[in-house]
Amino acid sequence: MFKYFPHTKSDIELMLKEMNISSIDELFSTVPKDVFLKKEYNLKSSMSEQEVRNYFKELDKENQELVIFSGLGLYDHYQPAVIDAITSRQEFLTSYTPYQPEVSQGTLQYIFEYQSMIQTITGMDVSNASMYDGTTSTAEACFMACNITKRKKILISNTINPNTINVIKTYLKFKNYEFEFVSSKNGVLDKDDLKSKINANIAGLVVQNPNFFGLVEDYSGVSDLLHELKSIFIQNSDISALGVLKTPFENGADIACGDCQSLGIPISFGGPTLGYLATKKKYARKIPGRISGYTVDSSGKRAYVLTLQAREQHIRRSKAVSNICSNQSLMVLFVTVYLSIMGKRGLEEVNELSYQNSHYLYERLLATNKFFDPFKQPFLKEFTLETTLSHDLIAKALLDKNIFGGFSLKQFSEEYENLINFAVTEKRTKAEIDTLIEVLEGLS
């Protein structure tokens, strides 16, 4: 056990002697005194194993189990028990990138299977091994568009999640790329405004479907408008929704990106998740990160390897497609297991149940005459309503019943001051939905 105890007194004395100094204070003498800890942490003395268990049991009692009716990028879908059973196995439980293919065939194979599934769901030809999350995958898609077209300006639909927009803006800023927003009309992309802003200097357009308000957008004619000027069409999507909606390929997109959290990854405290990024075959060498492919070894057996690694660690930084230096391989396993057991029909059922639940809540809220639909557009599992009720009052009343949501949008923009968002997945029961409605009916 003692090898797990760092910095024993004898260890410290030995290290100080090697450095020819007499004390810890002397070691840190160059550090300004005002940044030092002024007093010791209030840590209890050591405890036995049983005492530690009892301590954490008491802490656990303070946790509050909430029924979630909030979305905006993270969704409370059911996570089958088999996911934890497989992802916690020691053969898989690692976040390390499989740099040594000869000892990483299992990891490389499930990444390969993940890529194949993403290609099927998005309709695209090529998928990478994963990105950090949906926001960074969308920002990297913008880089791709600029690299492909050799142009420096991106159009961004303002119906994209503001958190994603913030990450895109940050990425573009340090590459000296420009951006401009395309406005919305009735909660969806304003195609007339797009026509007025598209020109031969535009690298690409980024949209989101379903969008920030939960609305399902119609992109008919958008790809033709962009491709006529050789611009790139980028579609961000909650990938679970693609089980029933038109694929990015069917919408004419060149790059599909977004978050995979809704496919078996728990919400936790907002992460970790993983971002997917898929594209057409002709842009495969422009895709960031790495791709798991397969070849044949000297014995004629299939061998999985990382390929097309146009990355910082392999080539000159200035020539690299992207400077991402890792991937989310453990989260990839979550998604791969989820999709393997759910299948095409299972994913459809998840969306059908979410649709039924969300529309039941939507109709009941409108019937209270306290909520109004400002957009009147189709939606899948998430919707945004307008209300004059205090959002703080709504949140407090629902939390008193252990319900989290709806989510006030006023923090994102003054335009959204009276807008509130609800998301309803297949996990929500009629009793839970009725409780939420009962609480809101009693507010004034």
Q: What is the pLDDT of residue 6?
A: 75
390 and 355 within one domain: yes
Q: What is the CATH number of the domain that holds 385?
A: 3.90.1150.10
Q: Do 247 and 223 fall into the same domain? A: yes
Residues 238 and 100 in one domain: yes
Residues 119 and 138 in one domain: yes
Domain residues for the domain of 309 are 81-338
pTM of the model: 0.88
Q: Does 13 map to a domain? A: no
**What's the confidence (pLDDT) of residue 3?**
64
User: Where a domain ends, among 291, 319, 338?
Assistant: 338
Q: What is the mean pLDDT of residues 158-164?
A: 98
Q: Where are the alpha helices (DSSP H) in 202-328?
A: 222-227
- HSE-up of residue 193 (Cα within 13 Å, Cβ side): 14
Residue 51 lies in a domain: no
435 and 357 share one domain: yes
Report the chain's terminal Cα–Cα distance, integer Å.
62
- Local confidence band at 102 (pLDDT 50, 70, 90 cut-offs): confident
In a domain, 199, yes or no: yes
Please check whether residue 17 lies inside any domain of the structure. Answer: no
Residue where a domain terminates, one of 314, 338, 362: 338
Among 100-104, 160-164, 311-315, 393-397, the least confident range: 311-315
Both 417 and 371 in a single domain? yes
Average pLDDT over residues 356-378: 98
Does a structural domain hold residue 8?
Answer: no
Last residue of a domain, one of 338, 367, 394: 338
Report yes or no on 10 lying in a domain: no
| Whether residue 228 sits in one domain with residue 290 | yes
Classify 95 as helix, strand or coil.
coil
* Same domain as 380, residue 329: no
* Owner of token pair 């950090």: 132
Residue 313 has pLDDT above 80, yes or no: no
- pLDDT tens digits for 7-34? 888 889 999 999 999 999 999 999 999 9
pLDDT band at 310 (very low <50, low <70, confident <90, very high): low
What is the tally of structural domains in the chain? 2
Predicted local confidence at residue 125, as pLDDT: 98
Average pLDDT over residues 386-393: 96
Q: Do residues 362 and 228 both lie within one domain? A: no
Examine the domain organization and report whether 303 and 404 are in the same domain: no
CATH number of 272's domain? 3.40.640.10
Residues whose CB is less than 8 angstroms from the CB of residue 224 and which lie 6 or more positions away in sequence, other chains included: 252
Does residue 294 lie in a domain region?
yes
Query: 337 with 86: CB under 8 angstroms?
Result: yes
Q: Quick check: 188 and 384 in contact, CB under 8 A?
A: no
Return the H-helix or E-strand segment holding 169: helix 162-173
pLDDT in tens, 422-432: 999 999 999 99
Burial label, 48 (beta-carbon count in 10 A; 0-12, 13-18, 19+): exposed
Strand order in the sheet with 382-386: 382-386, 419-423, 407-408
Same domain, 308 and 384: no
In this model, does residue 109 exceed pLDDT 60?
yes
